[in-house]
Amino acid sequence: MSPADRVRRVFFGLSAFISVLAFILIGGTMLCDQWIAGYASAGFILGTALLNAGACLGLFAVIAAIGSAVSIVFSDETPPQEQ
């Protein structure tokens, strides 16, 4: 793999991990509080979950774009194989 491919792969993996973690930590507590308290309707809880998912998707896109921008600095040529 070329250095640019490795950088992209690391940033995409990191962005997926951070996005899922953010959804679980932020969205999970918010949704559980709404559900347990019983003050919110099912439509409101679903809307909150979709809003959180959209925010986490945006977070994924920002981190992945940073990784793509950083990978431009590196070469796309694969390093020679050592024997």
What are the tens digits of pLDDT across the range 23-61?
Answer: 999 888 888 888 888 878 888 888 988 999 999 999 999
- Cβ atoms of 60 and 15 within 8 Å: the answer is yes
State which residues form the domain around 59. 14-71
Is residue 29 in a domain? yes
> What pTM did the predictor assign?
0.78
* 62 within domain boundaries: yes
How many domains in the chain?
Answer: 1
Backbone angles phi, psi at 68, to 5 degrees: -65, -40
Answer whether residue 36 is part of any domain: yes
Domain for residue 80, yes or no?
A: no
